[in-house]
Amino acid sequence: MLKIQPTVISAVHVSAWYGSHRAVQDISLDVARGHVMALIGPSGCGKSTFLRCINRMHEEIDHTRVEGKVLYRGEDIYGTDVDPVAVRSCIGMVFQKPNPFPTMSVGENVITGLKLRGGYSRSEMEGRMEEALRRAALWDEVKNKLRAPGTSLSGGQQQRLCIARALAVQPEVLLMDEPTSALDPISTGRIEELMTELKKSVTIIIVTHNMQQAARISDQTAFFLMGRLIEKGATEQIFNAPTKEETENYISGRFG
Amino acid sequence: MFDSRSKDHAPEPPPAFAGPVKLPSIQRRRHFKSLLANVILITLAGMAILPLIFVFTYITSAGLPALNLDLFYRLPAPPGETGGGMANAIVGSLVMVVLSSLMAMPTGLLCGLYVAEFPHQRLARILRFIIDLMTGIPSIVIGLFAYATLVVPLGGFSAWAGSAALAVIMLPIVSRTTEEILRLIPAQLREAGLALGLPRWKVLVRMIMRAGRSAIATGVFLAIARAAGETAPLLFTSFNNQYWNTGLREPVASLPVQIYTYAISPYEEWHRLAWAGSLILVSVVFAINLICRLVLKRQTK
């Protein structure tokens, strides 16, 4: 069985509820290793909720429910004997608003995942910290202020710090929920560059409202509307020759 | 851009001053109402602060003359003799406050954490209701309760019983503060921790509690200040002792009870000591409050 790009994440008929409201309806989607998958669609279309189903963060909100399967390397993460904690350490997440831990320094923020997990020596953690910060393209800017509070950095730096924090635990998949929507264009550009670099080692699924961003950085794009997956395919095809009318309307800016 | 425009549209010269401008009547009425509201609020605020100022100045003026070093290291003198101190009461209060904190802090913190983190669980709702009720129990009733459940079965007044009664007073304060502080901590922090693949309890204890620790500490210290000043629960539990406390299973002197004993006595000398003791107690409580607020202010900057 020789595949060049095996599937890492495979959602099978996933539905998600908030109380009785079904925000995500029967979505099936495959993500190949080393790809960037962009989820686009108007606000409230369920793309963030779907993203949160992929590492079992959706269930952290009260009165929510998920149905269907999400296969990670062929194993259902909603299986009865699967620990959500283990899922999340393989499938990391970066949030919309930069959220460094306010009581921790830059360095502590990066290694806190390892430190609280335990079993890592000091030198090991320091090595991982530098590696993660380098991968997040932040090392040169913060190497002299690792002891400064994480919140003292600029917004763009804070978001890269959050990326470094997620990378330090070495996840195989990184979920990004509108990671640049709170940032200025220059910081956004840096994070986009970073993503193109990162996809050599990590599979990325990103929710974005910025269609140019999706077009620039993603290999695959999925278009969501009212909780349904309308169309998915190679990014070029979705943007240049969408097959569905709704997709074309959305991409050409006729709504949303 | 604005400069170039201002050349074309030069600002009009201000009108020559022509006496006070007469406001339309509706605006004058609003001004008056606003003024009235301010006066009422300031008066009410002043009325709220006045008792504190009165109490503090009165205690200071009555207690300061009797205040001397003997108070801090000598035992109470028998009636009729001058001098004497309340060293045993100061130590007794200290011991009981420490003991009660050791009992109330872990339980209160855990209760608050549980109620804040699992607000929808039935047990959490019941617990929250009970804690609210506990805040309202008169302290003398807590004293009686400790008498019936600890003093009688253990066969006598003891520091343990007094500490337990104080702990019952502290517990709801610690729990409520913890709960309220934890609710203020943004949910994103919790999600960020969970998304790193950390178990829930580690996120709670090592991240969320850590983020709120200074505010929670303030609540704990306020509870300590409250317990340090309680008399009623100690009357039937630790009772009093004119000598050095010999052990935690013996009756123990404490500042509030000592003040009470001195104050109801017929001796002029003891009355003076009661005032001095009050001054010490109020100063300690005041200092704890003040330090808490200063620390919190610095931390939140």
Residue of B185, B196, B201 best to disrupt the A interface, most CBs of A under 10 A: B196
Which of B195, B207, B213 faces A93 most closely, judged by CB atoms?
B195
* Distance to chain A for B224, nearest Cα, Å: 26
Residue B155 has pLDDT above 70, yes or no: yes
Would an 8 Å CB–CB cutoff place A119 in contact with chain B? no
Nearest chain B residue (CA) to A86 = B197
Q: Contact at 8 Å (CB) between A217 and A206?
A: yes
Return the DSSP state at A105.
B
Give B81-138 pLDDT, tens digit per residue. 777 778 888 888 999 999 999 999 999 999 999 999 888 889 999 999 999 999 899 9
Strands A91-94 and A7-18: unpaired
Would an 8 Å CB–CB cutoff place A62 in contact with chain B? yes
> What is the rounded CA–CA span in Å between residue B231 and residue B104?
18
Average pLDDT for A12-38: 93
> What is the rounded CA–CA span in Å between residue A253 and residue B29?
52
Q: Do A162 and B192 touch (CB under 8 A)?
A: yes
Nearest chain A residue (CA) to B185 = A102
* Residue numbers in B near A158 (CB within 8 A): none
Return the DSSP state at A243.
S
Residue B7 has pLDDT above 60, yes or no: no
Nearest chain A residue (CA) to B212 = A103
Confidence band (pLDDT; 50, 70, 90) for A96?
Answer: very high
Which of B188, B198, B211 faces A117 most closely, judged by CB atoms?
B198
Q: Do B197 and A112 touch (CB under 8 A)?
A: no
- A-B C-beta contacts closer than 8 Å: 67
Nearest chain B residue (CA) to A98 = B188
* Distance to chain A for B199, nearest Cα, Å: 6
* Distance to chain A for B300, nearest Cα, Å: 11
Q: Kindly report the pTM of this predicted structure.
A: 0.76
Which of A85, A103, A162 faces B197 most closely, judged by CB atoms?
A85
Give A168-197 pLDDT, tens digit per residue. 999 999 999 999 988 889 889 989 999 998
| Count of beta carbons in the 10 Å neighbourhood of residue A5 | 12
Which of A88, A165, A166 faces B194 most closely, judged by CB atoms?
A88
- When the pLDDT of each residue in chain A is averaged and rounded to a whole number, the result is 91
* Higher-scoring residue by pLDDT: B119, B172: B172
pLDDT at residue B21, rounded to an integer: 66
Which of B191, B196, B206 faces A166 most closely, judged by CB atoms?
B196
Average pLDDT for B177-204: 90
Three-state DSSP state, A99: coil
> Of the candidates A114, A179, A165, A99, which has an alpha carbon nearest to the alpha carbon of residue B208?
A99
Would an 8 Å CB–CB cutoff place A245 in contact with chain B? no
Q: Which residues contact A53 (CB under 8 A, 6 or more apart)?
A: A11, A14, A16, A24, A66, A70
Which of A92, A99, A116 faces B202 most closely, judged by CB atoms?
A116
Residue of A58, A64, A112 best to disrupt the B interface, most CBs of B under 10 A: A112
Q: Do A97 and B194 touch (CB under 8 A)?
A: no
Average pLDDT for A218-225: 94
* Distance to chain B for A117, nearest Cα, Å: 7
Give B19-76 pLDDT, tens digit per residue. 666 667 888 889 999 999 999 999 999 999 999 999 999 999 998 888 888 888 888 8
Least-confidence region, from A102-106, A127-131, A251-255, B168-172? A251-255
Side by side, the strands of the sheet bearing A75-76 are: A21-32, A7-18, A64-72, A75-76
Three-state DSSP state, A54: helix
Residue A44 has pLDDT above 90, yes or no: no
Would an 8 Å CB–CB cutoff place B207 in contact with chain A? yes
Nearest chain A residue (CA) to B205 = A116
Would an 8 Å CB–CB cutoff place B210 in contact with chain A? yes
